[in-house]
Amino acid sequence: MSLIEKINRVFPQNSDIPTGLQQGIPFSQTGYLINGEIRQWEGPQHHVLSPVWVNIDGVPEPFPIGSYPLLTEKEALEALDAAVSAYDHGRGAWPTLSVAERIHHMERFVFRMLEQKERIVQLLMWEVGKSLKDSIKEFDRTICYIKDTMNALKDLDRISSRFAIEEGIIGQIRRAPMGVVLCMGPFNYPLNETLTTLIPALIMGNTVILKPPKHGALLYAPLLDVFCDVFPKGVINIIYGEGHSIIPPLMRSGSIHVLALIGNSSTANILKKLHPKPNRLRCVLGLEAKNPAIVLKDADLDLAVQECLLGCLSFNGQRCTALKILFVASAIQDEFLKRLVSAVNKLCFGMPWQEDVFITPVAEKGKTDYLQGLVADAIAKGAAVINEAGGTVNGSFFFPAVLYPVHERMRVYHEEQFGPVIPVLPFNDIKEPIEYMIHSVYGQQVSIFGKDPDQIAQLIDPLVNQVCRVNINSQCQRGPDIFPFTGRKDSAEGTLSVSDALRVFSIRTLVAAKQTQMNKDIITGIVRNHQSQFLATDFIL
Ligand code: G3H
User: Residues 504-529: pLDDT tens digits?
Assistant: 999 999 999 999 999 999 999 999 99
Task: State the closest ligand 1 atom to the C-alpha of 186, by its place in the atom list counted from 1.
Answer: 1
CA-CA distance, 93 to 231, in Å (whole number)?
Answer: 11
- Pocket of ligand 1, candidates 197, 447, 478: which has the most ligand atoms within 8 Å of its Cβ, to mutate? 478
- What is the 419 CA–ligand 1 centroid distance (Å)? 14
Could you tell me whether strands 164-166 and 45-56 are parallel, antiparallel, or unpaired per DSSP bridges? unpaired
- The pLDDT tens digits for 229-276 are 999 999 999 999 999 999 999 999 999 999 999 999 999 999 999 999
383 three-class SS: coil
- What is the 155 CA–ligand 1 centroid distance (Å)? 26
Nearest protein Cα to ligand 1, atom 7: 477
- How many other CB atoms are found less than 10 A from the CB of residue 308? 26
- What is the 376 CA–ligand 1 centroid distance (Å)? 28
CA within 13 Å, CB half, 346: 10
Could you tell me whether strands 169-177 and 164-166 are parallel, antiparallel, or unpaired per DSSP bridges? antiparallel
- What is the 288 CA–ligand 1 centroid distance (Å)? 11
* Contact call for residues 198 and 262 (beta carbons, < 8 A): no
CA-CA distance, 476 to 469, in Å (whole number)?
Answer: 8
Nearest protein Cα to ligand 1, atom 6: 478
**% of the chain with per-residue pLDDT over 70:** 100
* Contact call for residues 397 and 14 (beta carbons, < 8 A): no
CA-CA distance, 41 to 43, in Å (whole number)?
Answer: 6
Q: Which residues lie with the beta carbon below 6 Å from any ligand 1 atom?
A: 188-189, 193, 319-321, 477-479
- What is the 318 CA–ligand 1 centroid distance (Å)? 9
- What is the 319 CA–ligand 1 centroid distance (Å)? 5
- Pocket of ligand 1, candidates 285, 310, 315, 321: which has the most ligand atoms within 8 Å of its Cβ, to mutate? 321
What confidence category does residue 541 fall into, taking pLDDT thresholds of 50, 70 and 90? Answer: confident
The DSSP symbol for 408 reads T
Nearest to 36 by CA among 229, 183, 205, 199: 229
CA-CA distance, 83 to 203, in Å (whole number)?
Answer: 15
- What is the 485 CA–ligand 1 centroid distance (Å)? 9
User: Which helix or strand (DSSP H or E) is residue 166 part of?
Assistant: strand 164-166
* pLDDT > 90? residue 331: yes
- What is the 302 CA–ligand 1 centroid distance (Å)? 23
- What is the 67 CA–ligand 1 centroid distance (Å)? 27
CA-CA distance, 288 to 500, in Å (whole number)?
Answer: 20
Nearest protein Cα to ligand 1, atom 2: 320
CA distances to 263, 352, 373, 415 from 319, rounded to whole Å, are: 11, 17, 20, 14
H-type alpha helices, 208-347:
221-230, 243-252, 265-274, 301-313, 333-346
- Pocket of ligand 1, candidates 319, 445, 500: which has the most ligand atoms within 8 Å of its Cβ, to mutate? 319
Q: What angle do CA 509, 513, 516 make, to 5 degrees?
A: 165
- What is the 322 CA–ligand 1 centroid distance (Å)? 8
Task: State the closest ligand 1 atom to the C-alpha of 188, by its place in the atom list counted from 1.
Answer: 1
Could you tell me whether strands 393-394 and 397-398 are parallel, antiparallel, or unpaired per DSSP bridges? antiparallel
- The pLDDT tens digits for 37-94 are 999 999 999 999 999 999 999 899 999 999 999 999 999 999 999 999 999 999 999 9
pLDDT of residue 423: 98
- What is the 124 CA–ligand 1 centroid distance (Å)? 16
CA-CA distance, 75 to 89, in Å (whole number)?
Answer: 22
Nearest protein Cα to ligand 1, atom 8: 478
Task: State the closest ligand 1 atom to the C-alpha of 479, by its place in the atom list counted from 1.
Answer: 8
- What is the 533 CA–ligand 1 centroid distance (Å)? 37
CA distances to 59, 131, 221 from 21, rounded to whole Å, are: 22, 12, 17
- How many other CB atoms are found less than 10 A from the CB of residue 278? 11
* Contact call for residues 301 and 332 (beta carbons, < 8 A): yes
Q: What share of the chain is helix, strand, coil (3-state, %, to 5)?
A: 40, 25, 35
158 three-class SS: helix
Mean per-residue pLDDT over the chain, rounded: 97
**% of the chain with per-residue pLDDT over 90:** 99
- What is the 103 CA–ligand 1 centroid distance (Å)? 26
- Pocket of ligand 1, candidates 141, 477, 483: which has the most ligand atoms within 8 Å of its Cβ, to mutate? 477
- What is the 478 CA–ligand 1 centroid distance (Å)? 5
CA within 13 Å, CB half, 260: 32
* Contact call for residues 351 and 397 (beta carbons, < 8 A): no
Question: Hey, what long-range contacts does 509-516 have (CB within 8 A, 24 or more apart)?
Answer: 509/173, 509/174, 509/175, 509/176, 510/171, 510/172, 510/173, 510/174, 511/171, 511/172, 511/535, 512/169, 512/170, 512/171, 513/169, 513/170, 513/171, 514/168, 514/169, 514/170, 515/165, 515/168, 515/169, 515/170
What confidence category does residue 157 fall into, taking pLDDT thresholds of 50, 70 and 90? Answer: very high
CA within 13 Å, CB half, 331: 9
CA-CA distance, 402 to 420, in Å (whole number)?
Answer: 9
- How many other CB atoms are found less than 10 A from the CB of residue 394? 18
pTM value surpassing 0.75: yes
- The pLDDT tens digits for 190-215 are 999 999 999 999 999 999 999 999 99
Q: Most distant CA pair in the chain: distance in Å?
A: 88
Nearest to 236 by CA among 278, 198, 283: 198
pLDDT of residue 469: 98
